[in-house]
Amino acid sequence: MCGIVGYVSSNTDAKEILLDSLKRLEYRGYDSAGVALIDGEGRLQVFKKAGSIDSLKETLPEIKAGTGISHTRWATHGVPSDLNAHPHVDCTGKLALVHNGIVENYRALREELEGKGHSFSSKTDSEVIAHLIEEMYSGDLLEAVKGALKRLKGSFAILVLHSDHPGEMVAARQESPLVLGKRFGKIFAASDPTALLAYTEEFIFMDDGQIAHLKGGNITLYDFDLKEVKPNWQRITWSVKDAEKGGFEHFMLKEIYEQPSTIHQCLQGWDEEDLSWLRPRSLTSVNIVACGTSYHAALVGKYVIQAFSGLPTQVETASEYRYSPPTDYSSLHIFISQSGETADTLAALREARKRGNETLAITNVMGSTITREAHHTIYLRAGPEIGVAATKTFTSQIIILYLLALWMGVRRGRILSEEAGRVLSELKKMPRVVERILSREEEVKAIAEGLKGAPSMFYIGRYVNYPSALEGALKMKEISYIHAEGYPAGELKHGPLALLDENLPVVAILTSDHTYEKMLSNVGEVVARNAPVVAITEEGDDEVLKYTEDVLYYPPVMPILSPVPIAIYTQLLAYWTAKFRGCPIDKPRNLAKSVTVE
Ligand code: M6R
């Protein structure tokens, strides 16, 4: 995990630029932060601290520097502390390094380096890289980094400074994201382009196995043997405003409110040409692999793909994928990841490719690792998502899965194009449907106030809304810290019912389809145990009022599309419950936006 930023210029604004950009990466980790600068006299100055970037900022002196690196941490090795915070320095105090990733062989390297007299000040895996480069250094920083990289096992994006080389930086990437940018002779490096949107639109997304030398306003790209590589510049058109809060108290709320437009953008961006490689009639099945919220979107996709295309569909949690047997080659493998950087999903993708499967990535982030490793990519076009809790990207993921399922269904002769057209025009109404739900935020707030003291909660649903129950519960536990579990409603009587009493609220998700009667009976079972029920159901459902007064109504939609409006309610419910509990909504404890460790 972690976010890193680097800056090389002939100006004196490195401190400000590094901290400003780092702040935009805070979603990648926020347990400690640090900055290293080469000051006007060519001295390396390092400041680091456990805690937030803001608290680091308060302790920094006035300092004029043109070159520097910065880091925001999510601890993997070594507790969050001042000493374990990055940047790490070598024994001479002249070299500083920031690292995102994990050095798998750090114990052996540390022992070897300590044997050679190196003295370590942290418990991190990252510090070994600084000492390893020091060990290889004899005046040429680029050569020293090259030598050190040959000894590392694991994943890394690193930025290295040396006070013998003011105005220079070396960057390298292996399995952890790193982008470079350039504007008016200033050079930037960061884990993610959103950090740099205020400064540049032109980016190089470094590939695995590349080193970059940033010097004199230029970027030279090499492979790990220092053979020069031609850079591939790409333009990112997201605006800085897209990555800011725009008047909302939290990114999460802003992102919830963006959904009418992100759903619209997603539908607009759908281009059948992107699927010209896919032969739906030759497929025998579909496998979808993902983690967290993306996994829940995949589960919705399973029902939808089966319903529209008739293709048997399996969904696997990415971290479990490698333990399942290979499927035949005519199974389409879909990997869903908002960030495109989730280590578990990338590992599963690599495994699928090794097994010979054709792979399709569904992601939000252009240039992310998944887009370079999968055979094909479909983008969500949802704009940057900063809140740790995924919201707008979940609805975009399921919209893409509806579109894909319809497209395959028509080509497989499973549904007529008129029927697909009808579903599509219902999908096009979703931005309006979502707007109507957003206009009922006050009702959600009132219910959330009643939930704020709950020690635990259940979410129940059936069929296409079983995943909605899982996702609702994930949102609730992740940001409000209330223990919440999602269940297929029929499962309650097989155990969980034992836990129900007047202190355990149950969110019941109802749809006006073949599941309705059974869901209503399940609600009855819950009420009979005195558990309070919050029902989310379609407008016009009066039956449910016999069981509870806490009802959130969504406008009539095709039942199979109901996970879209329901997601908006469960997101708002989690948001307002967390807000009433005073939780740090955008940055829940122990979590990070991009989970780049397995
Ligand atoms: O970037 P990804 O979609 O691959 O991320 C997967 C999960 O880490 C992510 O969905 C996580 O569960 C979210 N915090 C949920 O809100």
| 3-state secondary structure (DSSP) of residue 97 | strand
470 falls within a domain: yes
Please say if the pLDDT value at position 388 is more than 90.
yes
Pairing of strands 359-363, 331-337: parallel
Name the band, by pLDDT with cuts 50, 70 and 90, for residue 387.
Answer: very high
Test site for ligand 1: of 317, 369, 595, most ligand atoms within 8 A of the Cβ: 595
Assign 597 a pLDDT band (cuts: 50, 70, 90): confident
pTM of the model: 0.79
pLDDT band at residue 598 under the 50/70/90 scheme: confident
pLDDT of 591 over the 90 cut = no
CB 215 within 8 A of CB 167: yes
The torsion defined by the Cα of 242, 247, 249 and 251, in degrees rounded to 10, comes to -10
Which atom of ligand 1 is closest in space to residue 344's alpha carbon?
A: 4
Instruction: Name the more confident of 176 and 337.
Output: 337
Residue 433 lies in a domain: no
Q: Are residues 212 and 251 in the same domain?
A: no
Residue ID of nearest Cα to ligand 1 atom 9: 292
CA of 595 from ligand 1 middle (Å) equals 8
Distance from residue 294's CA to the centre of ligand 1 (Å): 6
- Residue type at position 161: L
Q: Is 589 domain-assigned? A: no
* Residue range 331-338: mean pLDDT, rounded: 96
Q: At a CB cut-off of 8 Å and minimum separation 6, what does 300 contact?
A: 398, 401, 464, 467, 468, 563
Q: What is the pLDDT of residues 294-334, one digit of tens each?
A: 999 999 999 999 999 999 999 999 999 989 888 888 899 99
pLDDT score at 314: 96
Mutate to test the pocket of ligand 1, among 192, 294, 393, 596 (most ligand atoms within 8 A of CB): 294
Give the residue from 189, 216, 242 where a domain finishes.
Answer: 242
Q: pLDDT value at position 204?
A: 96
Using alpha carbons, select from 155, 105, 156, 152 the residue that is nearest to residue 133.
152
Using a 6 Å CB cutoff, which residues line ligand 1? Answer: 291-294, 337-339, 342, 345, 388-390, 474, 478, 595
Q: Name the percent of the chain lying above pLDDT 70.
A: 100
Tell me the pLDDT tens digit for each residue of 187-199: 999 998 989 999 9
What is the number of other CB atoms lying within 10 angstroms of the CB of residue 589?
A: 10
Q: Which residues contact 16 (CB under 8 A, 6 or more apart)?
A: none
Q: Verify that 102 and 223 share a domain, yes or no.
A: yes
Q: Report the SS3 class of residue 50.
A: strand
- Shared domain check, 501 and 393: no
Which of 101-105, 125-129, 242-246 shows the lowest per-residue confidence on average (mean pLDDT)? 242-246
- The answer to the question of residue 251 being in a domain is yes
Is 593 in the active site? yes
What is the distance in A from the centroid of ligand 1 to the CA of 481? 17
Atom of ligand 1 nearest to the CA of 594: 1
Give the distance (Å) from ligand 1 centre to CA of residue 340.
10
Is residue 220 helix, strand or coil? Answer: strand
Cβ contact 541:495 at 8 Å: no
**Which residue among 23, 49, 182, 593 is the active-site one?**
593
Listed residues 378, 403, 428: the one ending a domain: 428
Q: Whose CA is nearest to atom 14 of ligand 1?
A: 389
**Looking at the structure, do residues 59 and 195 belong to the same domain, yes or no?**
yes
Long-range contacts of 412-416 (CB under 8 A, 24+ apart): 412/280, 412/281, 412/283, 412/309, 412/310, 412/311, 414/308, 414/309, 414/310, 415/308
Q: Are 150 and 224 in contact (CB under 8 A)?
A: yes
Co-location of 177 and 254 in the same domain? no
Q: Which of 30, 342, 346, 378 to mutate to test the pocket of ligand 1 (most atoms within 8 A of CB)?
A: 342
At residue 1, the pLDDT reads 61
Sign of the Cα pseudo-torsion (386, 177, 187, 167, in order)? positive
pLDDT of residue 490: 95
Residue 497 inside a domain? The answer is yes
Alpha helices in 313-463 (DSSP H): 318-321, 343-354, 369-373, 392-411, 417-427, 430-438, 441-451
Task: For residue 380, report the distance from its CA to the centre of ligand 1, in Å.
Answer: 14
| Average pLDDT rounded to a whole number, residues 133-139 | 97
Cα(369) to centroid(ligand 1), Å: 15
Closest by Cα among 455, 446, 573, 457 to 506: 457
Q: Is residue 434 part of a domain?
A: no
Atom of ligand 1 lying closest to residue 593 CA: 14
Q: Whose CA is nearest to atom 12 of ligand 1?
A: 292
Q: Is residue 526 domain-shared with residue 466, that is, in the same domain?
A: yes
* DSSP letter assigned to residue 539: T
Q: How confident is the model at residue 78 (pLDDT cuts 50, 70, 90)?
A: confident
pLDDT at 437 over 80: yes
**Count of domains observed in the chain:** 3
Ligand 1 mutation target, pool 191, 252, 293, 476, most atoms within 8 A of CB: 293
Domain identity same for 51 and 161: yes
pLDDT computed for residue 274 by the predictor = 86
Of 184, 213, 242, the domain-final residue: 242
Are 309 and 217 found together in one domain? no
Of the residues 2, 266, 291, 583, which is catalytic? 2
Between the CA of residue 341 and those of 45, 231, 266, what are the distances in Å?
31, 21, 21
Residue 100 belongs to some domain of the structure: yes
Q: Does the residue 479 lie in any domain?
A: yes
**What's the CA-to-centroid distance between 191 and ligand 1, angstroms?**
17
* 146 and 230 within one domain: yes
Q: Which CATH number belongs to the domain containing residue 529 in this structure?
A: 3.40.50.10490
Closest CA to ligand 1's atom 8:
292
Q: Which CATH number characterizes residue 135's domain? A: 3.60.20.10
CA of 115 to the centre of ligand 1 (A): 41
The minimum-distance atom of ligand 1 relative to the CA of 591 is 14
Counting from 1 in the atom list of ligand 1, the atom nearest the Cα of 388 is 14
Q: Which residue's CA is minimally distant from atom 11 of ligand 1?
A: 292
DSSP label of 222: E
What is the average pLDDT score of the chain? 94
Q: Residue 45 pLDDT > 70, yes or no?
A: yes
- Domain holding 560, by residue range, is 439-584
Q: Rounded mean pLDDT of 553-567?
A: 98
Question: Residue 261: pLDDT band by 50, 70, 90 thresholds?
Answer: confident
- Judge if 412 and 480 occupy the same domain: no
Say if residue 222 is in the same domain as residue 289. no
Is there a single domain that holds both residue 501 and residue 356?
no
Atom of ligand 1 nearest to the CA of 291: 6
First vs last C-alpha separation in the chain: 10
